[in-house]
Amino acid sequence: MRAVVQRVSFSHVDVEGQCVGKIGKGLTVLLGVMDGDTDEDAEYIAKKVALLRIFEDEQEKMNLSVKDVGGSVLLISQFTLAGDARHGNRPSFSTAAAPEIAEPLCEKVVASLTSKGLSVETGRFRTHMEVTLLNDGPVTILLDSRRQF
């Protein structure tokens, strides 16, 4: 499972011109479920997102988590994170999990984040989404449950 985590001042996601998820200060998480991912991968990503210390403390050091600052999470599924463009110019998405597997795993990440006391908004699975955000910093962190980076 891969995640792109962005510290944001605000973020929202629209489907067909209507807002389906919106947060203020917090984290926007683009989540890609890979073939072979399990509940353990979902929990790893959720734990990392919840505990990432990428918000500044009083000394302007990144020492605080999203929960520490009272922030929220906007989680958006994004199968293109499984894209492999090493061979040619058109990415292959053959390593992306099938939607029947990916959607429940995305829901597990949401449930785990919620159980950790976080307010979580989401996009809408298998739709064309438009994401608007103001990246704060900018701070962007890449996570991989298989620890490839």
Catalytic positions = 78-80
Q: 23: closest CA among 134, 110, 141?
A: 134
Give the whole-angstrom CA distance, residue 34 versus residue 32: 6
| Tokens found for residue 110 | 């949401």
Distances in whole angstroms, Cα of residue 111 to Cα of each of 9, 14, 52, 53, 104: 23, 22, 18, 21, 10
Q: What's the one-letter identity of residue 35?
A: D
Other CB atoms closer than 10 Å to residue 91's CB: what's the count? Answer: 13
Taken in order 6, 69, 45, 128, the sign of the CA dihedral is: negative
